[in-house]
Structure 1
């Protein structure tokens, strides 16, 4: 919801905003939001607004139409959903599926599985290398040097050192 959105609070279920040390669900409200068509309010939606405060002090505001789940469960679902969104964003940026190798459902599924496996392998390699490189830079370096004879983990940790070590060894044999 935008910061300038207008809503009306119909019921306050939880309000721990005055407690500075409160963590978790700090506010839960039932709200109504008007829907305008051609500038005229035609109907009002009944929604639920949950404000969650993380351990780092950051506040997250969730709007939902689910009135049955506990507020803590709503916050957990949104947190997990956000992690999935970040995964798909990372896949779209680093492994773009611009075209598919086949037209059958099976061919498309296999290509998507290959991308997911490649993504998982890159995450494992990045953790094992304990690098500070961004994920996109690491993918680019690996993509460019995939057929080079270098130790992958060493190459990711210190690209220039591994590259010099490999090329100095190959030049030594050529003379």
Structure 2
């Protein structure tokens, strides 16, 4: 009975790591200690859950993988700030033309 219980526990661990490999895309672990592996797995799980929550809250029709690709492609872009910078630049150029040349 004890051997069967140990095999069942081991099989649960195997299924867990299979799910992690399929969904979290952890290719290699950065550390070898138990704490390092736990931190990396928990970070990947938290990231997965946050992306899934955002995907669900936006009621996106594309797949979760496509949504994640979109997030990673536009992660460091700030469209509002960029549009404001372009607007300020145009206003400055307009003011510069209206003021004329001082010398």
For normalisation by structure 2, the TM-score amounts to 0.59
User: 2 CA distance for matches of 1:96 and 1:126?
Assistant: 18
Q: Distance in 2 between matches of 1:114 and 1:149?
A: 24
Q: CA, structure 1 residues 92+172, in 2 after alignment: closer, same or farther (shift >3 Å)?
A: farther
Flag as ranges the 4+ runs of structure 1 deviating above 6 A. Answer: none
Considering fraction of residues, name the structure with more helix.
Answer: 2
Q: Specify which structure has the higher proportion of strand.
A: 1
User: Quick check: 2:29–2:40 contact (8 Å CA) kept in 1?
Assistant: yes
Corresponding residue of 1:141: 70
Report deviation, 1:147: 1.7
CA, structure 1 residues 174+112, in 2 after alignment: closer, same or farther (shift >3 Å)? Answer: same
5+ residue gaps in structure 1?
A: 1-83, 151-164
2-structure distance, mates of 1:114, 1:93:
16
Alignment partners' CA distance in 2, 1:127 and 1:111: 24
Change (3 A) 1:94 1:169: farther
Give the alignment of 1:35-50 within 5 angstroms: none
1:145–1:113 distance in 2 versus 1, CA, 3 Å: same
The correspondence for 1:105, drawn from 14, 34, 41, is: 34
Distance 1:124 1:102, change over 3 A: same
Whole-angstrom CA distance in 1 between matches of 2:69 and 2:28: 20
How far did 1:93 drift?
A: 4.9
RMSD: 2.7
Give the deviation of 1:168 after TM superposition.
3.4
Distance 1:174 1:149 in 2: 17
1:93-132 pair list within 5 angstroms: 93=22, 95-132=24-61
Residue 169 of structure 1 is matched in structure 2 by 84
